Amino acid sequence: MFLPRVVKRQEPLQWGSFFIFAAALVVSLGVSCALLAVHGKPPLKALAVLWSGGFGGPFALEDTLLKSIPIFLCSLGVAVSFRMQVWNIGAEGQFALGAVGATWAVLTFPVLPLWAMMPVMFLCAAVAGGLWAAVPAVLRLRFGMNEIISTLMFNYIGILFLQFLVYGVWKDPTSFGFPMTSIFPKAAIIGPISPATLGRVHWGLAVCAGVAVLLAVFLKRTRLGFELLAGGENPRAARYARMPYNLLVLLVMSLCGALAGFAGCIETSATVNRLQPSIMVGYGYTAIVVAWLSRLRITSIALFAFLLAGLRVGVEHLQLDLQVPAAFGGILEGMILLSVLAGQFFDRYRFTLKGRS
Amino acid sequence: MDMDTALLLSILAATVQSGTPILYATLGEMFTERSGVLNLGVEGMMIVGAFTAFLATHLTGNPWAGVLAAGLCGGGLSLLHGIVCLIFQGNQVVSGLALTILGLGLADFLGTPYVGITTTGFQAFAVPVLADIPVLGTIFFRHDALVYLSYLLPPLFWLFMARTRPGLALRAAGEHPAAASAAGLSPVRIRWCGIFTGGFLAGIGGAYLSLAYTHLWTNNMTSGRGWIAVALVIFAFWRPGRAVFGAYLFGGVMALQLRLQAMGANLPSSLMLMLPYALTVLVLLASSARGGGRAAPAALGVNIEPEE
């Protein structure tokens, strides 16, 4: 019989991750367009809107770049955690706490000048996000508590905490009852880099670049970073090699929290200039998709963060132009992740038609 | 009967009602995990169940058609998890997360035109004789058909696992798939059944929300109940009896929270809404500190590699 058989590959497929992503994208777009057709929307026109909204033209690219900033920051931390086999899915809550921390700094020291305000704001965001992530890490290390569920519950609690603040003590008395703080002072607003050439692209992009370089140096050039890369693959081997596994887990989770906190700070300060619940749009969950797609290659994280940000922007245009519900984005992301997971099979296995030897 | 007793009884009866959707989902996930597969897509399967139950009932007028549709669609969604993990050897944690993202997106996308529309759904009826038992009758026997059905599940679950050959085979696939395979069983096929049954029950849990707990469809109506169910499986040490206790514990907190809000308690609603999530962390912490994780099926989350 010449039935195909599954054989393990000796070496991973060359350029595999990009082929797999391309195939996954085709499958996901196919399924999603079929759903659109069911919903009575023209699928081909929708694809065109999705493309032109996210990637077609300078204005679209600007939007996409802006959205990829928070996604990139969250994804870096999640990717490092996943590499350690730490299933930290709490970037969403850490993002919320980062926004809260930054806002606390602004409301507490409203008269600081720009050069002092920015570091204080980012520091408070990183501490708040980092601590929010460190608690599940400690619970896991000390009590063996499942970090998937604790980080997820911390997402719900963190978002509700943000709401508690903006509906209550932090509500702007002049906001006509809308849940939002008053607008930040000028010194607390992250401005555009160069309005003439780069439009609305703000200094958050520079923060991303700085963080990426620091992280790359840390992973490639320091002992701890090397241990992290080596230890993550196999915790037991790491323990035999006397690597400080517990310390690494705590470090990685806090780092992820701090980076997600940065993202929350940037969204609050640069995008809406105040704290309001509408900043919570699920970047932390998109980060899971990006982190899994790109593993721990920083350039891939940037690339996939940009692609998924573009899909999000495209979906917003679908919403405006064709009245497609915003949830369409969730379908796309879920389908992409599922089909990439399935496709990665071909990274490790191949089919052969030869008979048994 | 004085006011306070009546209030307490009504809260306890509401406890059973709020706990029922969580009970269905918890038992479903427990079934899947006993076969060795971790499916974190419960939240997604539940919300898809809630929507399809609403839609089928809206179209046919028969809530049982809704329950069937919810089970089949919840189970159908779970088969995607099976395709990724059983055929393509994908990571079970990430696949489950993807399933949740997909399910929430699907239900929201397809359900947007129906938000706020009410449907008939299930009505409460008193069970003859049993409903007249003092106290217990009021708490347990003045509900709807899905609640009564849920009373049968834990003992059936236990009987199936402990006393039948298919139950033994399911446990073997979860504890030691290689041994199951050597005994002539097909652990992969067993895991397919485990996954589908779990999705079916999660779907019915969702159906309870749109057909009995409320009689309408709103986006995000599961609001984390699927994740609470995943936590409760660990809390329950993979045993159905403790799952009942856990589900009603959460039902109690949710009922109390609603009651306090209705009575106009002077607390911000965002703090009240935190209660179930904070409680999830606490109960999980309590069971983890007691070494709860060790009760997990030995091969939970580990894929069965294809033979070469």
Using one digit for the tens of pLDDT, what is the confidence trace for A258-305? 999 999 999 999 999 999 999 999 999 999 999 998 877 889 999 999
Handedness of CA A311, A316, A322, A326 (dihedral sign): positive
Q: Share the mean pLDDT of chain A.
A: 88
Burial of residue A353 (CB within 10 Å: 0-12, 13-18, 19+) is exposed
What residues 203-262 of chain B have any CB closer than 8 A to a CB of chain A?
219, 224, 227, 230-231, 234
The per-residue pLDDT for range B91-145, each reduced to its tens digit, is: 999 999 999 999 999 999 999 889 989 888 899 988 888 988 888 988 899 899 9
The per-residue pLDDT for range A98-140, each reduced to its tens digit, is: 999 999 999 999 988 989 999 999 999 999 999 999 999 999 9
Question: Phi and psi dihedrals of B216, rounded to 5?
Answer: -155, 175
Give the rounded percent of residues in chain B with a pLDDT score beyond 90.
73
The arithmetic mean of pLDDT across residues A220-238, rounded, is 74
Higher pLDDT, A246 or B31: B31
A331 contact B CB<8A: yes
Q: How confident is the model at residue A232 (pLDDT cuts 50, 70, 90)?
A: low
* pLDDT score recorded for residue B290: 82
Taking the C-alpha atoms of residue B241 and residue B231, their distance in angstroms, rounded to an integer, is 15
* pLDDT of B14 strictly over 60: yes
The per-residue pLDDT for range B264-278, each reduced to its tens digit, is: 777 788 888 899 999
Task: Record the pTM.
Answer: 0.93
Closest of B196, B271, B280, B272 to residue B22, by C-alpha: B280
CB A49 within 8 A of CB A314: yes
B93 contact A CB<8A: yes
Q: Which two tokens stand for residue A109?
A: 């020291």
Nearest CA in chain A to B279: A153
Q: How confident is the model at residue A79 (pLDDT cuts 50, 70, 90)?
A: very high
* pLDDT score recorded for residue A29: 92
- Would you say how long chain A is, in residues? 357
Q: Strand ranges (DSSP E) for A61-137?
A: none
State the residue for tokens 């997820």: A152
The arithmetic mean of pLDDT across residues A187-203, rounded, is 85
Q: Which two tokens stand for residue B235?
A: 């809390």
Handedness of CA A153, A102, A259, A143 (dihedral sign): negative
Taking the C-alpha atoms of residue A337 and residue A349, their distance in angstroms, rounded to an integer, is 19
Handedness of CA A100, A103, A109, A112 (dihedral sign): positive
The per-residue pLDDT for range B200-255, each reduced to its tens digit, is: 999 999 999 999 999 999 988 999 999 999 999 999 999 999 999 999 999 999 99
The arithmetic mean of pLDDT across residues A240-268, rounded, is 89
Higher pLDDT, B217 or A14: B217
DSSP A175-230: STT-S-PPPPPGGGSPPBS-HHHHTT-BTHHHHHHHHHHHHHHHHHHSHHHHHHHH
The arithmetic mean of pLDDT across residues A8-34, rounded, is 81
A93 contact B CB<8A: no
The arithmetic mean of pLDDT across residues A211-235, rounded, is 81
* pLDDT score recorded for residue A238: 67
* pLDDT of A170 strictly over 50: yes
Taking the C-alpha atoms of residue A212 and residue A216, their distance in angstroms, rounded to an integer, is 6
Higher pLDDT, B270 or B55: B55
* Cα-trace Rg, chain A: 22
CB B53 within 8 A of CB B211: yes
Taking the C-alpha atoms of residue A332 and residue A283, their distance in angstroms, rounded to an integer, is 14
* pLDDT score recorded for residue A260: 97
Taking the C-alpha atoms of residue A277 and residue A294, their distance in angstroms, rounded to an integer, is 29
Closest of A201, A202, A256 to residue A228, by C-alpha: A256
Fold of A69-320: ABC transporter involved in vitamin B12 uptake, BtuC (1.10.3470)
DSSP-based three-state secondary structure for A7: strand
Q: Share the mean pLDDT of chain B.
A: 92
Taking the C-alpha atoms of residue A72 and residue A79, their distance in angstroms, rounded to an integer, is 10
The arithmetic mean of pLDDT across residues A200-206, rounded, is 89
The arithmetic mean of pLDDT across residues B284-294, rounded, is 81
Q: Which DSSP state fits B131?
A: G
Inter-residue long-range contacts of B295-298, CB under 8 Å, 24+ positions, other chains counted = B295/B237, B295/B238, B295/B239, B296/B33, B296/B234, B296/B238, B297/B33, B297/B34, B297/B35, B297/B36, B297/B171, B297/B174, B297/B175, B297/B238, B298/B174, B298/B175, B298/B176
Q: Strand ranges (DSSP E) for chain A?
A: 5-8, 349-352
Nearest CA in chain A to B290: A143
What residues 245-304 of chain A have any CB closer than 8 A to a CB of chain B?
285, 288-289, 292
Closest of A92, A54, A72 to residue A315, by C-alpha: A54
* pLDDT of B41 strictly over 90: yes
Q: How far is A141 from chain B (nearest CA, A)?
A: 11
Taking the C-alpha atoms of residue A228 and residue B132, their distance in angstroms, rounded to an integer, is 64
Interface contacts (A, B; CB < 8 Å): 156
Q: How confident is the model at residue A200 (pLDDT cuts 50, 70, 90)?
A: confident
* pLDDT of A357 strictly over 60: no
Ranges of each domain in chain A: 1-41+324-357, 69-320
CATH architecture assignment, domain B17-295: Orthogonal Bundle (1.10)
* pLDDT score recorded for residue A354: 60
* pLDDT score recorded for residue B15: 95
Q: Which residues of B fall within a CB distance of 8 Å from A160?
A: 270-271, 273-274, 277
What residues 106-125 of chain B have any CB closer than 8 A to a CB of chain A?
106-110, 112
* pLDDT score recorded for residue B176: 93
Closest of A284, A310, A317 to residue A64, by C-alpha: A310
Least confident of A323-327, A335-339, B199-203, B205-209: A323-327
How many CA atoms are closer than 13 Å to the CA of A77, on its beta-carbon side? 35
Closest of A304, A286, A310, A290 to residue A59, by C-alpha: A310
* pLDDT of A5 strictly over 80: no
